[in-house]
Chains A and B, each alone.
Chain A
Amino acid sequence: MGKYHIETKQVPPRFLPPGPYCVIAKEEGCLGCKYCVKKACPYGVYEKKGFDIKELRETSSYYCHHCLFCVESCPAGLISLMPNPEYQRLGDGYWTPEIITSLWRQAETGKIPVSGAGYGGPFVGEGFDEMWTDMSEIVRPTRDGIHGREYISTAVELGRKPLALEFDPDKKMVSQIPPFVEISLPVLLSLPSWGRWDRNVLFSLAKAAAKLNTLFIMPLKEFDSTFLSFIDHLMLSVETKEAIRSIPAQAQFIEIPLDLVSEIDVVRQGHSERIISVKVPFGPGVEKTCLDLVQNGVPIIHLFADEHGREMVELRPRFIKDAIQDVHFSLVEQGVRDQVTLLASGGIAMAEHMGKTIICGADAVVVGQALMVALECRLCKECEKGLPCPVEINAIDSEWGAQRIINLMGSWHSQLLEVMGAMGMRDVRRLRGELGRAIFYRDVIKESFANIKKVSGE
């Protein structure tokens, strides 16, 4: 196989995204300067801004880079910037406006987000923000990331693997190799756990999965013959026992919920090449559940958390990065980890989350909500209330949608290469469970500040 490459191209948004700050320019008190500072705006905001009749709003926030040039230059002091309420309303505390607008930009351009002037965010946060990834220099070999010539592989195999190969005395292999599939990116596509998504959206995902050489986990109930040409890149998700009968014969990848695990043989009957994934919620006792599944020969376990990456329990839910570690290491301890493929989903909102989840023990991740954001979803969830979608997501053209998703995944792929290059790694399969390639806030702060007197905070 040749080098894996994701073809990205510019795909303009249908709606102008809101920016973080709006320009407020008072007219009263204007001195009428001959050379108004508005004409000198380095970004031409005052020339470009207009009124968006689709969304009934003024568009300065999209163009403004909040450099404050005009604010400080207007002799009468008439210009102010204000946080844009429309921007602040996007998403929630986990899926922040910064994340959403960054996903939009990546889906539009296919490029890695790059910005100037260092990192301005908080020192540490919760969940994925409690860890950093490592790099190597001088004492360990390193790789160029996306700008280098060395190939870094992001391919992973899905399916069951024998722990060792057996041979008869004639050195003929006697082991049966179970079916597996290689996907080129450690990401599977899916729909979020909520929402109403029509055929255009489903086609976008199926087309993108085929182009990206990965799988789209598609609800079986949405499948019909028009999707048949994508069948090699679909993992059909079965919800009920009755539905098993309607699985198309060509389907090679099937996902079933945990309570249908007794039906595995039925699903496999007459289709020994089928690869089956069992969907298991993160929650108390998930380690034991997974161990049982592995011992019962399940090839793939798809562990899922909620959209904020939290376990499905009320009391002190573990975060996905911690829960997947617990599962991974319990399987390592039992000596069976390599037999099974672990997929993890829930709260994977940025490229870094993908890398970090793999470091914490997953083979690959499943993303859903981030893909809807690539299609301009604002996570308002009006559709759940039966209200019309403000961005008419179901009216998209599926070519447009597929390319937006390809762009986003292209950007994530490049970011994964950068992170792996910095670590000096050439294969994402080696990243799995490599906690040594992460730096955990709790560990280092304890070590580095050990000698410093502690006082309790506010």
Chain B
Amino acid sequence: MKECNKTEKWPPEVKQTPSRFRRPLSKYKIIRNENCDNCGICVDVCPYGVHKFVGKKVQSPNEHYCIGFACQGTDHYCIDKCPQNALSLVQNPTMEALGDHRWPADLILGTWYQAEYGRPPAHLEYKIGDSGDGFDRLRFNFELDNQTPTSWEIDPEISTSIELNRRGDNRPQVTISVPWYGGGMSFGSISLTVMLARAKACAAWNTFTCTGEGGYPDELVPYKDYIITQIATGLFGVREETIKRARIVEFKYAQGAKPGLGGHLLGDKVTPAVARMRQSIPGMSLFSPFPFHSVYSVEDHKKHIDWVKEINPKALIAVKVSTPNDVDMVAIGSYYAGAHIIFLDGSYGGTGAAPDIAKKNIAMPIELAVPKVHRFLVEEGVRDKVVLMAGGGIRTAYDIAKIIALGADGVVTGTSELVALECTRCHNCESGKGCPRGIATTDPRLSAMVKLDWAAQRISNLFYSWYLQLIDILKRLGMKSVKELVGRTDCLVYIERYEKENEKK
């Protein structure tokens, strides 16, 4: 099979990649009544391309390009310019049915915009969500000042790359060009097309994506230099050859969406292809055990790592853990067991099925775990010997920069890549045929809704937008490299919670 190499071009190209739907969801609705005489004034005035002619008739508006009430008062506000008073502008009621606290509707649309254009939007949210704390209460110092507008330019002087081997052992160095890589989403949880799209985008950005625990489909082999093989408690599809072909092998001890529980793949999603890969029976729910029943101590953990190091003498070892109270002890234990990368998975990530009680309650959010672990590793004098990656709730470029300032070296993404593919966060990917939009599904008919090149380009565009923002943030902080940002909590401010207690009767 032909091997895919890193593209020569840096950074990878942006290509405008519009929604695959006829009427992409919009924040506003423009209502055109029967008074319209197709005079075309709206087509002439709108600089965003909302109104267009089809033949001699003005077609129904492309509302998702509309900037809404922000346009009011300008000389191109179609509502006022229409001589027939045929147009009116309203909030789209469907916005209330989109998103959640973590990913509010505005941020989803803002992420879709970035996936379409490869740059942050001017009129939609792209920095924070509405969770009420954590990232959503942290700001960079400069955000509180009046900001000069940015031109979103690439600055070759500013480096965003990080090295993943800091142990100084005789294993190869692996450098990724951006401080993020893709987290494990298994074959079974997401479709093969989406896996391939992630791999393609990550290869273009000289970074990695991860197989997840559902095995290593042959179709991914051409991207093997950019794919992490995951070994999880279910050991689905883990074979000597899949460990041997990887530059990084990740042990999944736990995951942020369901800490303390094994992976869940409900029966409906176990199609014949998934069952074959996992050496199981179609239609049967697959619950991975928890924990690795071969690991009950740091010593056992070291045995695991030694085993993989023996099989693949060139691989770096990553250890994925979630965020309990003693996460700092887990991290130091993993370092002494020989891990190159410690990946903390916080409690907001997750693609497929997870019990609600686990998602909501077990273990702490990533924003709280990273500073704890960073500080502890510094105190123990090993912080610069190990790479600390953070995942599980990283949505935006600002989240990436904030968690690095809190003490991570880089981040692991997942959900945001799916949002780039028009995930609406409807939370239905766990059962039935899975995702009704063809992303987190293995149903062949639904999977066909997503085309590989379209998906890879959308993800790549989102990465491009993040890359631009990260450069902008580093520039504003006067830094030349993302490595300078690690642990710089002095760059952040925390907007304290408004205490309602005094008001309570």
Interface residue? B310 (CB, 8 A): no
User: What would be 14 A-B contacts, judged by CB atoms less than 8 Å apart?
Assistant: A65-B428, A68-B97, A112-B356, A115-B430, A116-B429, A116-B435, A122-B133, A137-B260, A137-B324, A421-B261, A422-B358, A448-B367, A452-B489, A453-B492
Q: Closest CB of chain A to B345's CB: distance in Å?
A: 11
Question: With A and B bound together, what is the CA distance between A447 and B376 in angstroms?
Answer: 12
Contact present for A67 and B426 (CB under 8 Å): yes
- Determine whether the beta carbon of B492 is less than 8 Å from that of A452: yes
- Say whether B322 contacts A419, CB under 8 Å: no
Within the complex, which residue of B63, B260, B298, B364 is in contact with A423, where a contact is CB–CB below 8 Å?
B260
Pick the interface stretch among B7-15, B70-78, B286-294, B477-485.
B286-294
Residues of chain B lying within 8 A (CB to CB) of residue A134: 324-325, 362-363
Binary A-proximity of B388-400 (CB < 8 A = 1, otherwise 0)? 0000110000000
A451 vs B406: C-alpha distance in the bound complex, in angstroms? 10
Q: Is the CB of A133 within 8 A of B131?
A: no
The dominant DSSP class at the B interface is: loop
List B residues at the A interface (Cβ < 8 Å): 19, 21-25, 29, 60, 63, 92-94, 96-103, 131-134, 136-138, 144, 253-254, 257, 259-262, 264, 266, 287, 289-291, 295-298, 301, 321-322, 324-326, 329-330, 333-334, 347-365, 367-372, 392-393, 406, 415, 423-437, 440, 446, 489-490, 492-498, 501, 504-505
Known: A113-B357, A418-B357. 17 other contacts (CB 8 A): A68-B94, A77-B63, A82-B96, A114-B354, A115-B359, A115-B427, A117-B423, A117-B428, A118-B349, A135-B259, A135-B260, A352-B361, A415-B355, A419-B260, A422-B259, A448-B371, A457-B498
Interface residues on A, range: 35 or more
Instruction: Tell me the complex Cα distance, A24–B261, Å.
Output: 40
Instruction: Across the A-B interface, give the 10 residue pairs with the lowest CB-CB distance, nearest first.
Output: A422-B260, A120-B100, A116-B429, A135-B260, A118-B350, A123-B133, A72-B21, A81-B97, A42-B436, A116-B430
Query: Which residues of chain A have C-beta atoms less than 8 A from B369's C-beta?
Result: 448
Interface residues, chain A, with chain B CB atoms under 8 Å away: 20-21, 24, 42-43, 65-69, 71-77, 80-83, 102, 112-124, 132-145, 147-148, 314-316, 350-352, 356, 415, 418-419, 421-423, 436, 439, 444-445, 447-449, 451-458
User: What's the Cα separation between A448 and B346 when bound, in Å?
Assistant: 14
Residues of A contacting B493 in the complex (Cβ-Cβ under 8 angstroms): 452-455
Bound Cα distance from A139 to B490, whole angstroms: 32
> Do the beta carbons of A119 and B347 come within 8 Å of each other?
yes
Q: Which residue on chain A has the smallest CB distance to residue B445? A: A42
Q: Is B257 within 8 A of A118, CB to CB? A: yes
Given contacts A114-B430, A447-B372, A453-B492, whether A147 and B354 have CB atoms under 8 Å apart is: no
Question: B24, A72: Cβ atoms under 8 Å?
Answer: yes
Determine which residue in A67, A117, A315, A351 has the highest number of CB atoms from chain B within 10 A of its CB, and name it. Answer: A117
The distance from the CB of B376 to the nearest CB of chain A, in whole angstroms, is 11
Contact (Cβ within 8 A) A148 B289: yes
Q: Beyond A66-B97, A68-B94, A147-B262, is A119–B494 a contact (Cβ under 8 Å)?
A: no
Q: Which residue of B lies closest to A317 (CB)?
A: B504
Considering the complex, give the chain A residue whose CB is closest to the CB of B99: A120
Question: Separation in Å of the B433 CB from the closest CB of chain A?
Answer: 7
Query: Which residues from chain A contact B132 at a C-beta distance below 8 Å?
Result: 122-124
